[in-house]
Amino acid sequence: MGVIQNILAVIVVLGVLITIHEYGHFWVARRCGIKVLRFSIGFGKPLWSWTDRHGTEYGLAAIPLGGYVKMLDEREGPVDPSERHLAFNTKSVWKRIAVVCAGPLANFLLAIFAYWALFVAGTTTVVPMIGGVTADSPAAQAGLSPKAEIVAINGQPTRSWDEINLRLIGAIGDDRLSITTRAAGASVTREQALAVNHFLVDQDPPRPLATLGITAWRPQLPAVLGQVLDDGAAQAAGFKAGDRIVSIDGMLVVDWIDFVERVRGAPGETLSVLIAREGGEQTLSLTPASHSLEDGRTIGQVGAGVENISWPAEYQRELSYGPLAAVGQAIGKTSEMTVLTLDSIRKMLVGLIAPSNLSGPITIARIAGDTARSGLESFLSFMAYLSISLGVLNLLPIPVLDGGHLLFYLIEAVRGKPLSEKVQNAGLKIGMALVGSLMLMAIYFDLMRLW
């Protein structure tokens, strides 16, 4: 069922993003007086199509990995003299630039709308309070202490753990990090410098908080099972929802974190677990399944989840804005994520971020499915970020992509005449080879993550 949900989620996400992107090209082309021959979502043989009164064919094709808008163009086939004024290649270079830019711009507008909807609806976040500091870590050496709220990273405000992680990911490769904290109940903030050497470089995947030696504060979770997954080790051992873990191999279990750590540290080992159930106690034999992580470590898993508890009200924060204020917040969030994406590309090119962080369709499908199961808020946030990524990637100056065409047209605007067909065709071949190589690399790293 999880695989089916992932497939459906990625179809919805990519379908929306591709449609919006191509509609941007389509809408501006029509406004520039260009005849659109076909508007296709997907490649290959059409599964469904219809034609409007303008002669534009709309189609849904079999391969859902992209889409295209085919316009009347003398370079792609004969054009009736009576329609020559409607051809793309006969329009001014500025109109062609507008058409090319419209697709990525539509993706940015979609992201702004998604963030706007989230800000208007409001979200409840957890106050980013430090729970613990590892001895001799950068955080300990800088003097960070538990129960202090992180209010800024490198001078940028942070209202949630999500924002903190984004700020830290943006600091990859830095040798110095500044964290501003506020003690519980205090109004005065304190900025502390952390010594980091090429922060997070060569980490795959990056673990920013663990690298700094910081753990997030959370209320103590009793070791009570809230759910037992089908076909998991816990179900096979006879565990049920509501069971309270008392001890493992005779050693008392303090809380849920304690239980998880012991399970993770015992892959394939048989544990004697004392549980409390319905007023009595009994002992069950539990053998955690072995699970390999991306960093090569093997941990134990049992297929069980903790019973939900309510966070104290003082550790929760409601983020919501009125319709007008949310516009500015959404534009700011989109701009921030755009800069982060561009900076990540730069750092990957200079070797600060490992190429193995590239993600392809398999990882996108998995994350789309996970966020869909987590709720509408997570799903919209993921769609907004993916839309920004699509917009940024399409604007890269690589022939074949929108950014490559934009580069050719900007050169034409400066020179007063287009580049020769020979130069453009050579650029397209190079662009196709580069994009194809990146796609193969992304799929390869997707498969490595699965294995």
C-beta separation of 125 from 160 below 8 A? yes
Task: Name 441's Cβ contacts closer than 8 Å, sequence gap at least 6.
Answer: 355, 358
CA distance 92 to 412: 10
Q: For 333-439, list the strands marked E by DSSP.
A: none
CB atoms within 10 A of CB 382: 20
Q: What would the two tokens of residue 442 be?
A: 């992304």
CA separation (Å) from 235 to 53, 301, 317, 450?
61, 12, 36, 24
Active-site residue flag, 318: no
C-beta separation of 43 from 66 below 8 A? yes
Task: Name 394's Cβ contacts closer than 8 Å, sequence gap at least 6.
Answer: 21, 103, 104, 107, 401, 402, 403
Given the residues 22, 149, 278, 377, select the one marked as catalytic. 22
Give the CA-trace dihedral at 393, 394, 395, 401, to 10 degrees. Answer: 120
Handedness of CA 424, 426, 428, 431 (dihedral sign): negative
Which residues participate in catalysis according to the annotation? 22
